[in-house]
Amino acid sequence: MTRIASIAASVVVIFGALALAGVFQRDDATPQARAQQTQQAPGQPTSVADIYRQVEPSVVFVQANSGRGQLPFPGGGRAASGSGFVVDDQGHIVTNDHVVEGADQFRVRFGEDGQPVDAKLLGKDPSSDLAVLEVDPSKVQGGVQPLELGSSSDLSPGDPAIAIGSPFGLEGTVTSGIVSALGRTIQAPNGFSISNAVQTDAAINPGNSGGPLLDGEGRVIGVNSQIASESGGNSGVGFAVPVDEIKQVVPSLIKGEDIKRAYLGISSSLAPDGGATVQDVVSGGPAERAGVRAGDRVVEAGDQPVREPDDLSGVVNGHRAGDKIDLVVERGGERRTLTVTLGDQPERPATP
């Protein structure tokens, strides 16, 4: 049976995690414009080896510990490891929520020969599987070097994809492949869904979690987070949290802000004729208050066609709590439009 697994390595227990990095600047240039800039920019990386040399100093090995013992974990307790990357010159490092979950001590290492540096957890968001650590840049030999963030909207299947991290604790490992697909939906650590994940065939394994997935110019396009595998190892199907999600979430985590997300309050499955069949409706939730019933087939949400449940999740995830969206549902052979006021997402999916 194929299973989706997070990919953080653990000393005692496998958690599942990866890491990423970038500079928080909006990139509105068109692909054509960036291509012209690339042609004009001397020293632009042109190979995987060039990209690796450019970004490797910005990718870190993350150690997370909880319970007894001190880092790096000689005295027992529960420990996990993953990857991460620097996103600004102030020492902020992005990794996966599932890498740091349950831990209270953190260290990161820059390069295989670097000394471990104590890190502080600034914030985490289980709904996007993202977390932010902070180190003192003065403690890092040579200082910190942030990665540049790309854009999810500019990606196409077949584009180059490069993953850097610490699979099985092997720091500084680089693998390459392509963007296999876009718009995938994966499950977040808290049971909700992450929309628009990037699928890649670049080899990703336990310990890669939190590390960056890069494009052909060395820009971050995602945070490596999960694999679909029958064996627990790479089988050519890996998933990364999209970089646009990083741009939305990480600045708030750095500020210590809670991430507010929209909530519909249903579970659904693929309808035989397309669309999302409502399986359960959370009592008192936004959908129930709008008149949604179990058995309804949702065919449109927020003026977007719903061909499968992932489409519905994507529409909800693209809105804020308090927004109103119209759901077009089929019930008893008739279509009707129901207006839902989206609520605040709870910590975990409610039991209908």
Q: Specify the CATH number for the domain of residue 298.
A: 2.30.42.10
Residue 7 pLDDT class (50, 70, 90 cuts): low
| Residue 29 pLDDT | 41
Domain termination residue (choose one: 231, 259, 287): 259
Looking at the domain assignment, is residue 249 inside a domain?
yes
Question: What's the rounded Cα separation, in Å, for the pair 26 and 155?
Answer: 15
Place of tokens 């052979």: 333
Looking at the domain assignment, is residue 35 inside a domain?
no
| Residue 2 pLDDT | 45
Could you tell me if 270 and 291 lie in one domain? Answer: yes
Could you tell me if 268 and 126 lie in one domain? Answer: no
| 98 belongs to the catalytic site | yes
Looking at the domain assignment, is residue 349 inside a domain?
no
Residue 350 pLDDT class (50, 70, 90 cuts): confident
Residues in Cβ contact with 193 at an 8 Å cutoff, skipping those fewer than 6 apart: 185, 186, 187, 310, 313, 317
> Is 310 within 8 Å of 298 (Cβ atoms)?
no
Region 160-166 average pLDDT: 95
| Residue 170 pLDDT | 87
| Residue 77 pLDDT | 57
| 151 belongs to the catalytic site | no
Could you tell me if 80 and 219 lie in one domain? Answer: yes
Region 271-287 average pLDDT: 95
> Is 25 within 8 Å of 219 (Cβ atoms)?
no
Q: Is 302 left (phi over 0), alpha (psi -120 to 50) or beta?
A: left
When divided into structural domains, the chain yields a total of: 2
| Residue 6 pLDDT | 61
| Residue 10 pLDDT | 42
| Residue 12 pLDDT | 30
Q: Above 50 in pLDDT, residue 36?
A: no
Could you tell me if 222 and 92 lie in one domain? Answer: yes
Residue 8 pLDDT class (50, 70, 90 cuts): low
Task: Report the candidate in 17, 6, 3, 16 with the shortest Cα–Cα distance to residue 211.
Answer: 17
Looking at the domain assignment, is residue 351 inside a domain?
no
Question: What's the rounded Cα separation, in Å, for the pair 65 and 135?
Answer: 16
Place of tokens 């013992």: 69
> Is 243 within 8 Å of 274 (Cβ atoms)?
no
For 287, list phi and psi in degrees, rounded to 5: -65, -45
β-pair partners for 266: 281
| Higher-pLDDT residue of 154, 350 | 154
Residues in Cβ contact with 144 at an 8 Å cutoff, skipping those fewer than 6 apart: 58, 86, 89, 91, 135, 137
| Residue 30 pLDDT | 40
Looking at the domain assignment, is residue 30 inside a domain?
no
| 182-186, long-range: CB < 8 A, 24+ apart | 182/152, 182/155, 182/156, 182/157, 183/310, 183/314, 184/239, 184/310, 185/310, 185/313, 185/314, 186/4, 186/225, 186/226, 186/239
Could you tell me if 255 and 267 lie in one domain? Answer: no
Q: Above 80 in pLDDT, residue 63?
A: yes
| Residue 5 pLDDT | 59
pTM: 0.81
Question: What's the rounded Cα separation, in Å, for the pair 19 and 58?
Answer: 11
Residue 13 pLDDT class (50, 70, 90 cuts): very low
Residue 24 pLDDT class (50, 70, 90 cuts): very low
Q: Could you tell me the CATH number of the domain that includes residue 100?
A: 2.40.10.120
| Higher-pLDDT residue of 92, 71 | 92
| Higher-pLDDT residue of 170, 229 | 170
Residue 17 pLDDT class (50, 70, 90 cuts): very low
Could you tell me if 69 and 177 lie in one domain? Answer: yes
pLDDT per residue over 293-344, tens digit each? 999 999 999 999 999 999 999 999 999 999 999 999 999 999 999 999 999 9
**Separation of CA 262 from chain center:** 17
Question: What's the rounded Cα separation, in Å, for the pair 310 and 276?
Answer: 9
Residues in Cβ contact with 332 at an 8 Å cutoff, skipping those fewer than 6 apart: none
Catalytic member of 6, 98, 152, 296: 98
Could you tell me if 115 and 242 lie in one domain? Answer: yes
Q: Above 60 in pLDDT, residue 265?
A: yes
Q: Above 80 in pLDDT, residue 101?
A: yes
Catalytic member of 81, 209, 229, 268: 209
Could you tell me if 1 and 105 lie in one domain? Answer: yes
Could you tell me if 268 and 228 lie in one domain? Answer: no
DSSP letter at 52?
H
Looking at the domain assignment, is residue 41 inside a domain?
no
pLDDT per residue over 188-235, tens digit each? 999 999 999 999 999 998 889 999 999 999 999 999 999 887 666 666
Q: 175 is in which domain, residue-wise? A: 1-25+46-259
Looking at the domain assignment, is residue 100 inside a domain?
yes
- The DSSP result for 261-313, as a single string, is -EE--EEEEE-TTSSEEEEEE-TTSHHHHTT--TT-EEEEETTEE-SSHHHHH
Could you tell me if 151 and 70 lie in one domain? Answer: yes
Question: What's the rounded Cα separation, in Å, for the pair 345 and 336?
Answer: 26
| 129 belongs to the catalytic site | yes
Could you tell me if 119 and 7 lie in one domain? Answer: yes
Question: What's the rounded Cα separation, in Å, for the pair 308 and 192?
Answer: 16
Catalytic member of 88, 125, 129, 201: 129
